[in-house]
Structure 1
């Protein structure tokens, strides 16, 4: 399916993840976040989103919640506060990367 963020059309898969992470821009993140009931992206949100994109660039998949909690500098408890609908899936969507392996 195709949708538009920050005035740019992007292709999403059936679950709403970016089909091509290269289409994502930082300007899109606040719009995507609002779709997931996150009204404002704080520095802590951006720390997670930046980590997600770096992990994807390095490993070809986004990190699991466990890896996020250990390596991002944001605790698992805080991850669930920042991304209440599920940190790995929600952060991956906002960060413009495909669904992380291990996500149901």
Structure 2
């Protein structure tokens, strides 16, 4: 599926993940969030940038368990709470944040 973001055509798979990971931009994340009727705030961006950093370091996007553990270590106990993360990303923190972050679908996510 192709989308136009700021005059540039960006291709995604049927689930909304980028075909070419180099096409990621914050504008793309904002547009994907709008499609989900979600406005990205500071906490969303922390998770999105964490997902991008983990993918850059490890070559894979963290699944929910690793996301919780890593965010808790980086930002504090609240961030390791599944409910807290689902309040931010109701369609699944690892999947939805990964889509916005321009990473591939996390391993183990259905």
Same fold (TM over 0.5): yes
Determine the structure 2 residue equivalent to 1:67: 66
Determine the structure 1 residue equivalent to 2:92: 86
Shift of 1:5: 2.3
C-alpha separation in 2, matches of 1:92 and 1:7? 23
Structure 2 gaps, min length 5: none
Structure number with the higher helix fraction is 2
Higher Cα Rg, which structure: 2
Shift of 1:37: 2.2
Residue correspondence of structure 1 range 1-104 to structure 2 within 5 A: 1-38=1-38, 40-72=39-71, 73=75, 74-75=79-80, 76-104=82-110
C-alpha separation in 2, matches of 1:36 and 1:89? 13
Shift of 1:6: 3.0
C-alpha separation in 2, matches of 1:102 and 1:5? 29
C-alpha separation in 2, matches of 1:67 and 1:7? 35
Local SS of the residue matching 1:79: helix
C-alpha separation in 1, matches of 2:23 and 2:70? 26
Local SS of the residue matching 1:63: coil
The Cα RMSD (Å) is 1.3
